[in-house]
Amino acid sequence: MKKYIALVLTLVFLGCSSGSDKPDPQPTDEGKDRSVMLKALAENVIIPSYDQFKTKFDLMSAKSKAFTAKPDSQTLTEFRSAWTDAYVAWQRVELFDFGPAEKQIIRNFFNIYPASEAGIAANITDPTSSLEVPASYPTQGFPALDYLINGLGANDTSILAHYTTDKDAAKKLAYITRVIARMDSLLGKVISDWKGEYLNTFISKTGLDIGSSTSLMVNGSVLHYERYIRSGKFGIPSGAMASGIPAPEKVEAFYKKDISKTLAQTAHKAYVDFFNGRHAVTGQAGPGLKNYLDALGAKDSGTGKLLTESINAQFQTAAAKLDVLKPNLYEEVKTNNQAMKDTYTEMQKAVRMLKVDMTSAMSITITYTDNDGD
């Protein structure tokens, strides 16, 4: 009997030991899996957005070649139209200023405004001037093209004269070609990196440290909303920033002012879509910052609601202020500036949510600095 009892106790002990060697299965929560979020944003949002922009850019390049080969009213009109379409499409990718875009400093070479008229004139005179130094930022990209096809004269006849009868006509045409060739080269490098080894690197660096993909992406995108949408498109031109002095000449697309609101609307919507993980082609919401924050259970400390609900509500409020503005933001600053300031104010509220509440919930450290008190 003693041997029997000992045998039973041994079997029971072994059974318990065998079970304890295997940890209880842990529930999986795909929303918290940062590799899923990073993969979806890269493959469904970032890369297809660049592809869409490249299509518009290539058309602009083709129209520029037609114009430089035969500068006349028709080729100028077609070049302008393609430039507008490409500039609008650029607003959907400018926010991806991390990874390959940050490496190439593509934003600074594509969209620093206002353009430097004196710098452009100097570069036209000296074809060997460098387009790679910081001083050259406002002499190239979309703002420079804006000046070259919309701002050289008071009307089309005057502008076309710069490219036909002016003594430096050939040099000016050559500069257009040079600017677009540089843009094409930089864009090609960024897209190639995203479709090459960087894609795997981006998806695999799932930590939350300063060098992780999530940290770089969040820092880059929050900086974009704060400095290049809120401040660049509204705060600086309206004077809502520290100086308090309106500067209508600093609106985006200064020489083609009637598209300035469209550019701002496109940039803001692109940011909202990115936050919500919307597919660049289908518009379907997928894994992204919103899903990740929801999976973390991030709450708005003031209301107790999901933080993403508060952020999206603030996005809608800011968009509503933007939508009622007239198409020409230059004129809005001069005649309806309080509406510009109101738009800035609502965007500022979104900045606080993104820069403080969102990053805190995600345990992300803000690595950039801004001197406006956020």
58-69 pLDDT per residue, tens:
999 999 999 999
158 and 236 assigned to the same domain: no
Tokens found for residue 28 = 């999986």
Give the model's pLDDT for residue 32.
Answer: 81
- Is 325 among the domain residues? yes
Do residues 76 and 149 lie in contact, with contact meaning Cβ atoms separated by under 8 Å? yes
- Is 353 among the domain residues? yes
Distant-in-sequence, close-in-space partners of 4: CB < 8 Å, separation ≥ 6 = none
> Residue 187 belongs to what H/E stretch?
helix 169-195
d(C-alpha 315, C-alpha 164), whole Å: 47
* Domain, as residue range, for 240: 207-374
Give the model's pLDDT for residue 7.
Answer: 38
- Is 16 among the domain residues? no
Give the model's pLDDT for residue 242.
Answer: 73
Mean pLDDT, rounded, for 85-92: 98
- b vs e for 329-342, b when ≥16 Cβ sit within 10 Å of the residue's Cβ? bbbbbeeebebbbb
Q: Is the pLDDT of residue 290 over 80?
A: yes
211 and 162 assigned to the same domain: no
88 and 187 assigned to the same domain: yes
- Is 14 among the domain residues? no
DSSP label of 280: T
195 and 286 assigned to the same domain: no
Q: Is the pLDDT of residue 218 over 60?
A: yes
The residue written with tokens 């002016």 in the block is: 166
Q: Which of 167, 188, 204 is the last residue of a domain?
A: 204
d(C-alpha 213, C-alpha 357), whole Å: 19
More confident of the two residues 370 and 373: 370
Distant-in-sequence, close-in-space partners of 247: CB < 8 Å, separation ≥ 6 = 236, 237, 239, 333
Give the model's pLDDT for residue 6.
Answer: 42
Give the tens place of pLDDT for each residue, 2-44. 444 343 334 333 343 333 333 333 334 556 899 999 999 999 9
Q: Is the pLDDT of residue 240 over 50?
A: yes
Mean pLDDT, rounded, for 298-302: 93
Give the tens place of pLDDT for each residue, 317-355. 999 999 999 999 999 999 999 999 999 999 999 999 999
* DSSP E strand boundaries for 122-239: none
215 and 200 assigned to the same domain: no
Model confidence band, residue 371 (pLDDT cutoffs 50, 70, 90): low
Mean pLDDT, rounded, for 122-145: 98
Among 1-10, 309-318, 361-370, whose mean pLDDT is lowest? 1-10
d(C-alpha 264, C-alpha 235), whole Å: 12
CATH code for the domain of 54: 1.20.1420.20
Q: What angle do CA 168, 172, 178 make, to 5 degrees?
A: 140
- Is 20 among the domain residues? no
